[in-house]
């Protein structure tokens, strides 16, 4: 995992990026003396400073016994903060001598072949699926400019082996956020992070290789430099993206006639940040999207984190410029935030923030769920550990409130108030009970699958609870229930997530999400159920497979993602990927003839070597 920083974790900022990976190998063994694990990580795949053949690194070693909810740590880190054992500032300094100041070079060519079988279910007259065979060659190069600065180059970038996104239900008027899963953008991804709030990011790498409508675009290639130079964290990224094409349909009854839909574009980002005042930081971010037709989108931002003992203040300012924006004052094309926090697992903790986003602020390479608003948020929490050996190891009580105003007339668009009780239970279980009072002012009506929400002001009260069991058991899982008012109706959500570890070679995870809305006053109903099945299997450290199936009641479609990996050696991998989207909606009674909406089979072989 890649840690973000040593600051208290909170305010919508995740503690780490668990998707990052590097070259490594591991073996485990179970003997009469117990369970043993040995992991080999080449030093050349880690970033560190070498001075006079010596390197100083931070070390945290931990052992977690889930059945008793017990954790052993070295060094002895007090549990005063959330995820205290993942704070780099608390690590034990470890000095390695005789470490070469090497600049490693890895070259990874890949070969890919496959077939796509697809059709457009909405095109009339109905046509049979067509098949398209693909053959691709690409190359990735990783070169260590120094022991703590890496250059990555990619040509004809491909992400065939990346896991599919988990389906989400959107029953509101704001955009959903999907995490980045592509490996090229994972390493040092925290360097590029610039989050002005939970739903406002100045740079969002998933914009690269996607059109504004969400259509995947070909990435010709690009490069990235990330690491540390002296006291500075440095990140430079530049990618060349195909503009994509649209299918205009058969021309004169012949073949499909694709035409350019948009110009090609270059996407770039520059991030600089350095440590000040111990664990504080200051820095800046610049992003650009330059199109071959002369169009340009630019974003700039500056941020700083200032520590005051257990307190921390974050100041952020961002500004955007797009060719399509109307002329506006600089402040109207800007977003700003001030955030003050004290995160503690002993006694009182609190935070408060104020965020402004102008009507012209439009980060085309970022993510913003809503725009043209001012928001204020506050949180007050108290944490205590009961004495004795009772069923509850820790109580956490907190209250949160957030108001969002429209800038145009200062009216309240959203107001949620929350009372929350979280309990760490003995045996490694966890329970969350929350009640919410919300006010939503809808100016423009919007459609839901099976219903329409009309303009109006809606007050609602709801209840949320979630219970998670310890993962140490053969059968584990979680149960989530959400019920209460929603706009001018009623909402019920029940999520059941069992997980079974059948053996050391096979685990099965399931989820069924019952998601319903009723609007009895106008006899409308929303059924947005989701079902997921994930099966993980590994014969040994070389051969593994994972299947991920998802069904959506809204679209009446089943999507399947099957990935098989055979590891010849570390860095030499064969992937077989099968993707299928099956549409169960019978169109003109021809479903059995036409088959699935889309199916793809890909075979990819990559070979990493050091010349």
Q: What is the pLDDT of residues 361-372, one digit of tens each?
A: 989 899 888 889
User: Which residue in 122, 213, 221, 250 sits closest to 557, CA to CA?
Assistant: 122
Structure tokens at 550: 């998802």
Number of neighbours of residue 104 by Cβ within 10 angstroms? 15
pLDDT of residue 16: 63
Highest mean predicted confidence (pLDDT) among 320-334, 386-400, 479-493:
479-493
The total number of residues shown for the chain amounts to 611
Q: Which of 31-45, 58-72, 293-307, 449-463 has the lowest mean pLDDT?
A: 58-72
pLDDT digits over 357-401, tens only?
999 898 989 988 888 999 999 999 999 888 877 788 889 999 999
DSSP 105-136: EEEEEEEEEEEEEE--TT-SS----EEEEEEE
506 three-class SS:
strand
Residue 499 CB: number of other CB atoms within 10 A? 18
Contact 338, 354 (CB under 8 A): yes
Using CA atoms, how far residue 27 sits from 30, 86, 177, 428, 541, in Å, is 11, 24, 36, 26, 8
Q: Give the H/E segment covering residue 339.
A: strand 334-342
Q: In the block, which residue shows the tokens 């986003």?
A: 357
Q: Of 374, 380, 382, which is closest to residue 417 (Cα–Cα)? A: 380
Q: Mean pLDDT of all residues in the chain?
A: 84
pLDDT for the residue 545: 95
Highest mean pLDDT among 83-97, 142-156, 466-480, 528-542: 528-542
Six token digits for residue 449: 């699958």
Tens-place pLDDT, residues 129-143: 777 888 889 999 988
Higher pLDDT, 12 or 37: 37
CA distance 355 to 374: 6
Half-sphere exposure of residue 341, counting CA atoms within 13 Å on the CB side? 19
Mean pLDDT computed over 135-158: 87
Q: In sequence order, what are the residues at sequence separation of 6 or more whose Cβ sits closer than 8 angstroms to the Cβ of residue 310?
A: 8, 342, 344
Q: pLDDT grade, residue 438 (50/70/90)?
A: very high
Rounded-to-integer distance, Cα 109 and Cα 137, Å: 7
pLDDT of residue 214: 67
| Beta-carbon contacts of residue 428 (< 8 Å; ≥ 6 apart) | 66, 67, 68, 69, 469, 470, 471, 472
Q: Which of 36-50, 184-198, 241-255 has the lowest mean pLDDT?
A: 241-255
| pLDDT of 10 strictly over 70 | no
pLDDT tens column, 47-78: 677 777 788 888 888 887 766 667 888 888 87
Strands (E), 130-170: 130-146, 149-157
pLDDT surpasses 80 at 192: yes
How far is the C-alpha of 260 from the C-alpha of 283, rounded, in Å? 39
**Do the Cβ atoms of 85 and 60 come closer than 8 Å?**
yes
Q: 332, 343 in Cβ contact below 8 A?
A: no
- Rounded CA-CA distance 336/354 in Å is 8
**Nearest C-alpha neighbor of 403 from the set 353, 443, 464:** 353
pLDDT tens-digit series, residues 510-522:
999 999 999 988 8
Q: What is the spatial distance between Cα 307 and Cα 319, in angstroms, rounded to a whole number?
A: 25
pLDDT at 271 > cutoff 60: yes
| Cβ–Cβ under 8 Å, residues 379 and 406 | no
The whole-number pLDDT of residue 256 equals 44
- Residue scoring higher pLDDT (170 or 484): 484
CA 283-302-309 angle, to 5 degrees, is 60
Distances (CA, A) of 92 to 43, 60, 61, 78: 18, 7, 9, 13
Percentage of the chain exceeding pLDDT 70: 87
Strands (E), 358-474: 367-368, 373-384, 392-406, 412-425, 430-442, 446-448, 451-453, 456-468
The pLDDT, as a whole number, for residue 490 is 94
Least confident of 68-77, 220-229, 547-556, 587-596: 587-596
pLDDT above 70: residue 246: no
**Tokens at 413, concatenated:** 């668009």
**CB-CB contact of 74 with 120 (8 Å):** no
Residue 484: is its pLDDT beyond 90? yes
Cα 384–chain centre separation:
31
Rounded CA gap, 439 and 442, in Å? 10
């Amino acid at each position: 995992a890649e840690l973000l920083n040593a600051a208290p974790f909170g305010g919508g900022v995740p503690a780490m990026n668990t998707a990052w990976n590097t070259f490594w190998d591991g073996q485990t063994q179970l003997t009469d003396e117990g369970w043993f694990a040995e992991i080999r990580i080449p030093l050349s795949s880690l970033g560190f400073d070498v001075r006079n053949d010596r390197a100083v690194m931070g070390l945290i070693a931990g052992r977690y016994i889930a059945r008793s909810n017990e954790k052993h740590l070295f060094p002895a880190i007090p549990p005063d903060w959330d995820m205290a054992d993942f704070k780099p500032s608390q690590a034990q300094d470890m000095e390695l001598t005789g470490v070469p100041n090497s600049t490693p070079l890895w070259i990874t060519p890949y070969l890919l072949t496959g077939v796509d079988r697809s059709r457009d279910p909405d095109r009339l007259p109905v046509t049979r699926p067509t098949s398209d065979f693909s053959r691709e060659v690409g190359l990735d190069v990783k070169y260590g400019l120094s022991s703590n600065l890496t250059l990555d180059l990619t040509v004809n970038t491909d992400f065939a082996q990346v896991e599919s996104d988990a389906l989400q239900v959107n029953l509101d008027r704001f955009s959903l956020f999907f995490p980045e899963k592509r490996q090229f953008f994972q390493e040092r991804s925290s360097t590029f992070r610039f989050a002005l709030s939970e739903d406002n990011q100045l740079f969002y790498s998933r914009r690269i290789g996607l059109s504004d409508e969400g259509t995947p675009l070909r990435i010709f290639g690009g490069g990235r430099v990330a690491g540390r130079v002296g006291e500075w964290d440095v990140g430079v990224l530049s990618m060349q993206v195909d503009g994509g094409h649209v299918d205009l349909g058969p021309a004169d009854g012949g073949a499909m006639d694709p035409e350019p839909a948009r110009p090609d574009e270059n996407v770039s980002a520059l991030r600089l940040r350095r440590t000040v005042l111990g664990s504080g930081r200051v820095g800046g971010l610049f992003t650009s999207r330059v199109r071959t037709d002369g169009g340009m989108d630019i974003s700039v931002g500056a941020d700083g984190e200032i520590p005051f003992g257990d307190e921390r203040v974050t100041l952020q300012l961002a500004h955007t410029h797009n060719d399509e924006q109307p002329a506006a004052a600089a402040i109207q094309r800007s977003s700003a935030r001030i955030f003050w926090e004290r995160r503690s697992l002993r006694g009182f903790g609190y935070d408060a923030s104020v965020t402004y986003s102008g009507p012209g602020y439009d980060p085309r390479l970022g993510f913003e769920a809503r725009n043209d608003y001012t928001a204020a948020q506050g949180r007050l929490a108290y944490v205590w550990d009961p004495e004795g050996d009772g069923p509850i190891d820790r109580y956490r009580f907190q209250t949160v409130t957030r108001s969002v105003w429209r800038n145009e007339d200062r009216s309240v668009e959203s107001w949620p108030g929350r009372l929350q009780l979280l309990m760490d239970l003995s045996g490694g279980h966890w329970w969350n009970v929350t009640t919410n009072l919300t006010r939503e002012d809808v100016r423009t009506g919007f459609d839901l699958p099976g219903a329409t929400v009309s303009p109006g002001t809606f007050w609602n009260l709801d209840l949320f609870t979630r219970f998670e069991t310890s993962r140490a058991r053969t059968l584990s899982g979680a149960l989530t229930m959400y019920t209460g008012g929603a706009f001018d109706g009623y909402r019920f959500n029940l999520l059941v997530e069992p997980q079974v570890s059948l053996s050391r070679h096979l685990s099965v995870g399931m989820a069924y999400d019952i998601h319903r809305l009723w609007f009895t006053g106008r006899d409308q109903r929303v059924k947005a159920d989701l079902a997921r099945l994930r099966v993980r299997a590994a014969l040994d450290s070389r051969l593994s497979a994972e299947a991920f199936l998802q069904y959506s009641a809204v679209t009446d479609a089943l999507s399947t993602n099957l990935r098989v990996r055979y590891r010849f050696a570390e860095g030499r991998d064969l992937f077989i990927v099968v993707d299928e989207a099956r549409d169960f909606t019978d169109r003109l009674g021809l479903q059995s003839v036409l088959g699935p909406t889309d199916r793809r089979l890909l075979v990819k072989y990559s070979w990493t070597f050091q010349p």
